Amino acid sequence: MSKEITSRSTDYSQWYNDLVIKGELADYSAVRGCMVIKPYGFALWENMRDVLDKMFKDTGHVNAYFPLFVPKSLFEAEEKNAEGFAKECAIVTHYRLKADPDRPGKLMVDPTAKLEEELVVRPTSEAIIWNTYKNWIQSYRDLPILVNQWANVVRWEMRTRLFLRTAEFLWQEGHTAHATRQEALDETVKMLEVYADFVENYMAVPVIKGVKTPQERFAGAEDTYCIEALMQDGKALQAGTSHFLGQNFAKAFEVKFSDRDNKLDYVWATSWGVSTRLIGALVMAHSDDEGLVLPPRIAPLQVVIVPIYKGDEQKGAIDACVHELMQSLKPMGIRVKYDDNDNARPGWKFAEYEMKGVPIRLAIGARDLENKVVELARRDTREKSTVPLEGLAERIQQLLEEIQQQLFNKALAYRNDHITDVDTWDQFVSLLDTKGGFMAAHWDGTAETEEAIKEKTKATIRCIPLDNKQEAGYCILTGKPSAQRVLFARAY
């Protein structure tokens, strides 16, 4: 059938693409590197967005919106940030098209409509936002500013992959301004905790919280905190970042405030973001060869009900039973769909909803009505059981939580099993190829060694875990002394 998907063992990349396309999360578009997020995929994003948005608001943040375009002169103000993103910027140079005299009916860029100053399509919004904050901040009384924006950004990547790395993507970016270094640092860590909470408890993907090495740091940050997740093929994926920006942007944009003692100082900053890339992480963390497996808390559909009947009379009886069941499920906030489309037969629907990762499927036929039961199938374990109609809604509610927990436990067991303490270079190299996952290894702390290891093995330091155990040892590459292990992995 056309809907068959490549197995993970045959071709992991193809498996991932098949899931995204055939699970109807997204599609390719006519625009290089840009994808269409389809309704089912967007529903998933909306659920994720809604949860995160509430978490941000519960921690005191408010939403705002800043322009898509950044004048080049503003973009280049914070030099490190500008340099870091320069290679992947889309730039608007003109503002008008005109009829092409050489090609009837076609258009050309009007050379007389060249912009005085080019506009950079934002790859991130620190520049335009800090240029704005300059006008908002005079006194410590104006601080803190705790603003988030939901937006699209553009990064002209050389090689793109659905959700994992697209030229345009959706994200949120928080940009906060503080009166003290400590307050900004606290904010950075607080938002990292929010991300970890969300990814683990809603997406059921376990993460390691840590801090990036200077090499891997966000351009313009003093410190980059991150959450790192592990995919089923043993590669790591950066799921979210929270940056302590120090006073870098305040200095670049001259944002000063008067403190209580009427002394002028630069404002302290943070920024933090997660993107539609999280959907890629979600797909790769839980899904199997039958299709998507979505965690109940953010699944667009949590329960699908498939009727099995012969003739209108049976259908009528099943309809009545299902409608009653839906009346009890909906008030519980359970997202349920009754698929009584007569054009598709039950077997087709079973395969289709497995492909789309719906956590629970119920099948109800005349036989079941007689016995006052339904057939219940779990997507995660693919187990089928016959359960009584009596108390079914409560049972489903409970089961959704159980599935959520089970998905997390399974991913956690896999992740924990794939953090390996490694003490020799040979072991490091061979385990990267055979087992994959995180290698907890000693490192001498230098950028040169980090770079050399990356060159030789394609493994990077994903992070130095927060509250990392201090333990004396020797760098796996250079043999120089080291005070702690750091996590290496190949990454997306």
Partner RNA sequence: CGGGAGGUAGUUCAGCCCGGUAGAAUACCUGGUUUGGGACCAGGGGGUCGCAGGUUCGAAUCCUGUCCUCCCGACCA
| Part in contact with RNA (CB under 7 A); list of ranges 45-53, 111-119, 350-358, 434-442 | 350-358
The residue from 220, 234, 296, 359 that contacts RNA (CB under 7 A) is 220
248 in contact with RNA (CB under 7 A): no
In the region spanning residues 21 to 80, those forming contacts with RNA, defined by CB under 7 A, are 28-34
Residue 304 binding RNA, by CB under 7 A: no
> Does the footprint of RNA cover residue 152 (CB under 7 A)?
no
| Residue of 351, 412, 429, 431 interacting with RNA (CB under 7 A) | 351
**How many chain residues bind RNA (CB under 7 A)?**
71
Minimum CB–partner distance for residue 331 and RNA (Å): 25
**Nearest of 184, 179, 183, 152 to residue 168 by alpha carbon:** 152
Nearer to RNA, 204 or 227 (CB): 227
Asked whether position 10 contacts RNA by CB under 7 A, the answer is no
Q: Specify which residues 441 forms β-bridges with.
A: 422, 486
Interaction with RNA in 113-132: which residues (CB under 7 A)? 123-124
Q: Which two tokens stand for residue 407?
A: 């998905």
Task: Yes or no: say if 120 and 89 are a contact pair by the CB < 8 Å rule.
Answer: yes
CB of 86 to RNA, least distance (A): 11
Side chain identity, residue 345:
R
Cα distances (Å, whole numbers) of residue 143 to 115, 180, 258, 269, 371: 36, 10, 11, 11, 65
Stretches 190-198, 296-304, 346-354, 398-406: which one binds RNA (CB under 7 A)? 346-354
Q: Residue 365, interface with RNA (CB under 7 A)?
A: yes
Does the protein bind RNA through residue 186 (CB under 7 A)? no
Q: What secondary structure does DSSP assign to 358-399, as a single string?
A: -SEEEEEEHHHHHHTEEEEEETTT--EEEEESTTHHHHHHHH
Which is nearer to RNA, 273 or 300 (by Cβ)? 273
Q: Provide the minimum distance between the beta carbon of 305 and RNA in the complex, in angstroms, as a whole number.
A: 11
Question: Alpha carbon of 213 to those of 228, 292, 305, 441, 463: distances in Å?
Answer: 14, 34, 50, 14, 7
- Using CB under 7 A as the binding rule, whether residue 262 contacts RNA is answered as no
Q: Which is nearer to RNA, 162 or 284 (CB)?
A: 162
- Strand-pairing partners, residue 242, are 225, 272
Angle at 438 between CA 434 and CA 442, to 5 degrees: 110
Task: Candidates 10, 13, 73, 139: give the one binding RNA (CB under 7 A).
Answer: 13
What is the SS3 string spanning 152-167? EEECCCCCCECCCECC
Query: Cβ closer to RNA: 71 or 273?
Result: 273
Q: Name the nearest CA neighbour of 436 among 492, 490, 393.
A: 490
